[in-house]
Structure 1
Amino acid sequence: MYCFRLPFAMPSQTQLGLHENQFLLGSEGERQVWLKPFGDADQRLCDATNFVIRGEGYATQDDAARDGERWRDVITRAFARVHLAADFGDRQPVNLLTKAGEEWLSRLMGHPVSAHLAGVTVFEDQPDLRFVAAPSLEGRKRPSEERNRLVFMQAARRHDPLDSSERLAFDLYSGSFFQPSADSRLLMLTMAIETLLVREPRSDVARAHVTAIMEATKANPDLTHSERNSLRGSLKELLDESIGQAGKRLARTLEPRTYAGQAPDAFFSRCYTMRSELTHGNVPRPNRRDVDALAASLELFVADLLAGRLLTEIPD
């Protein structure tokens, strides 16, 4: 017989209002699907933040896999209805325990061991099978003491004030460091750039063309009042340059630096395209590793925009 398991996590500030240590979600013949805490079998569900949906009694691997995906949708709908959130780990870094590691741990612990992975995992029903996660490895950023002293002293001498948009941009930049996923980091960092943008007027010829279209829209008797207002509001945005144009112009102030091997304006365009793919529902979503790598370079990009004169006065 085959089983499936689907782990997920809840935010620490929320609780699942179930006081038992496991909850039977569904039962049909030999098949049973349970909601359990991950790790501590005696922990009450209301005290846990890490969970696993476990299905048992499937005749084939395909049956188990299909039902695992179905139960993910069930939990998603239910959580949305009671205003709870669940992270199924799709966009989290992968902590992969190798097959050799599984075999070594199985011998060491005296029972079968398998890797704890995100998403639906199908496996043969084995007595006393345990799932373990590889330890999470996190890097720590720490500039040298000499460099810190130099930067702080120069910043104090300069006392270069930030305007309100720069302060907001720094809040968003800093907030990105506290986000658990690459997607949310990249989105917050592109938001930080947007707060710094000043959109310049288009050329006189372009503005005259847009204005003529606006006037034609206003005079069109076949359009309703709300349609005319809506269209003219959208057209008004075309009087100024696009966010992409303003972003590339701002990015060029960082030349001749490069980011991820690209000139600043090309790098900004790449990031903004990725942002659009994430926010406009592109399916499939961008590869998590690609987003993660881009977000890491974007952190440097935004920091350099906010460094002011220190960027050129203090060498890398």
Structure 2
Amino acid sequence: MTYMFRVRFKVGPTTRIDAKVDELVLDKTGGVQVFLRSVTAGQLVSDADELAMRGEGYATEAQASAGGKRWVGALVLGMISEFVATEFGERGSTGGLSPAGLELLRAANPGVRAYNDIAGLQVVSETPQPVFIRTQATAIAGKSGDAIAAHVRDAFSQHAEPDERSLLASEMYAASHFMPSEDSRFLMLMIAVEALIEAGTRQTAQVKAIDALVGRLACLSLSDEERESLTQTVAGLKRESINSAGKRLAGTLGDRMYAGKSPKRFFRDCYDARSNLVHGNLGRPTAETIRGLVGPLEHFVRDLVLERNGFHPRGE
């Protein structure tokens, strides 16, 4: 019995791998072959936006797993070397057949073994022939045309004219609906929130304390470059932090609740998750955590934009 690994991925919408072959072979060593293939049967690699990397012929499951992990890392580096975006979808929503459904397929097709086509690295036996099944559904929400028309008329009659910050936030809100993953959608919504944040200056006593710290830097044995860098950093503390200004902005939403939390607490949780995502912290929030924040965050952005412009839809 031999084992194989498989990992599917997407390339960016404006990029294709220019290889007019059914399989792009990456390596053939000692009975093991690693190659790229479209997930659509009969499609050339050059025409595919979704592909699978497969490694076949491993003697043990452990060897297939270890080899797969190395090849996934190599794929990431090799693709980015040619400016190709590679998306594995490991933090996206998942779907598939139940164990009972898979068993029914196996019973009806004894010559193959069915597996759910999950995101991330899969390691399976090559006997019987593995086939990968995926179920997919896209929900489309219908929004009342009458309600939209009424809101537009109300905004026009009230002379509601969104300012530049509101327009930018609305643009980021709209862009979030076209993001390919929950992580990117969450980050785009946080950019929308930050577009609405206006950081102020700290209190007078705090500013005086910061000025005193800047003065102390002149007495330290530092190079001119080091002193200038530290002076700019410390002087920058006179401005209110984004976290603090964001909580102040969230306070404009009063006693509304988001994911069962006050606006200020909800903003803090979102800001912490955003920081852990973008600053490479090892404590990266789980996919479930981000998924649980995205829906309420969409409402949060919408309410901030409307509140900023003093527009309150009828019935709310």
| Percent identical residues | 33
Mean CA deviation greater in 228-237 or 171-180? 228-237
Q: Counterpart in 1 of 2:59?
A: 59
Matched residue, 2:81: 81
Shift in Å, 1:112: 2.8
Counterpart in 1 of 2:258? Answer: 259
**Count of matched residue pairs:** 312
Q: Distance in 1 between matches of 2:194 and 2:27?
A: 48
Q: CA deviation at 1:139?
A: 2.4
Deviations 1:173-216 (A, max 9, x none): 11111101111111111111111111121111100000111122
Q: Which amino acid aligns with 1:305?
A: L
Q: Equivalent residue for 1:19?
A: 20
Measure the CA separation in 2 of the matches of 1:231 and 1:279.
Answer: 24
Aligned to 2:295: 296
Partner of 2:271: 272
RMSD across aligned positions (CA): 1.6
State the match for 2:199 in structure 1. Answer: 199
Amino acid at match of 1:309: G
Per-residue CA distance 1:202-236 (angstroms, 9 max, x = gap): 1111000001111222x235111111221111112
Equivalent residues of 1:151, 1:314 under 8 A apart: yes
> What amino acid does structure 2 have at the position aligned with 1:6?
V
* Aligned 8 A contact 1:2 1:60 in 2: yes
> How many Å separate the matches in 2 of 1:234 and 1:36?
51
Q: Given that residues 95 and 134 in structure 1 are in contact (C-alpha distance below 8 angstroms), is that contact kept between their aligned partners in structure 2?
A: yes
**Cα offset for 1:93?**
1.0
Q: Residues of 2 paired with 1:294 and 1:196: CA distance?
A: 19
Structure 2 residue matching 1:310: 3-state secondary structure? coil
TM-score of the superposed pair, with normalisation by structure 1: 0.93
1:154-173 matches, cutoff 5 A: 154-173=154-173
Q: 1: distance between equivalents of 2:239 and 2:315?
A: 36
Deviation at 1:127, TM superposition (A): 4.4
2:30 corresponding residue in structure 1: 29
Distance 2:47 2:143 in 1: 39
SS in 1 for 2:87: coil
Q: Using the TM superposition, give the Cα deviation of residue 90 of structure 1 relative to its aligned residue in structure 2, in angstroms.
A: 1.4
Q: Aligned partner of 1:31: which letter?
A: V
Q: 1:161, 1:235 → 2: CA distance?
A: 38
Report the alpha carbon displacement of residue 128 of structure 1 after superposing the two structures with TM: 3.9
CA distance in 2, matches of 1:284, 1:66: 24
Aligned-partner Cα distance in 1 for 2:220–2:6: 61
Unpaired runs of at least 5, structure 2: none
The answer to whether the 8 A contact 1:151-1:310 is kept is no
**2:199 aligns to what SS in structure 1?**
coil
What secondary structure does 1:112 align onto?
Answer: strand
Paired position in structure 2 for 1:118: 119
SS of 1:5's partner is strand
Matches within 5 A, 1:143-292: 143-217=143-217, 219-220=218-219, 222-292=221-291
Amino acid at match of 1:266: R
> Could you state the TM-score of these two structures normalised by the residue count of structure 2?
0.93
Deviations for 1:81-131, whole angstroms, at most 9, x for unmatched residues?
A: 111111111121112322222222334566432111111111111244321
Map Cα deviations across residues 9-29 of structure 1 (whole Å, 9 max, x no partner): 112210102111102211222
TM-aligned CA deviation for residue 309 of structure 1:
2.5
Q: Deviation of residue 301 (structure 1)? A: 0.2
Look up the SS of the partner of 1:113 in the other structure.
strand
**Letter of the 2:280 counterpart:** G
Mark the runs of 5 or more structure 1 residues left unpaired by the alignment.
Answer: none
Deviation at 1:147, TM superposition (A): 2.6
- Preserved contact between residue 4 and residue 121 of structure 1 (Cα < 8 Å): yes
CA contact (8 A) 1:206 1:239 kept: yes
- Between 171-180 and 90-99, report the one with greater CA deviation: 90-99
Residues 248 and 265 of structure 1 are in contact (CA less than 8 Å); yes or no, is this contact kept in structure 2? yes
**Which deviates more, 142-151 or 30-39?**
142-151
In 2: Cα distance, 1:99 partner to 1:272 partner: 39
Distance 2:315 2:125 in 1: 58
SS in 1 for 2:153: helix
**Cα distance between partner residues in 2 of 1:159 and 1:103:** 62
Answer yes or no: is the 8 Å Cα contact 1:274–1:286 preserved in 2.
Answer: yes
Does the CA contact (< 8 Å) of 2:160 and 2:311 recur in 1? no
Query: SS of 1:293's equivalent?
Result: helix
Q: Is the 8 A contact 1:197 1:243 kept in 2?
A: yes
Say whether the 8 Å CA contact 2:88–2:120 is kept in structure 1: yes
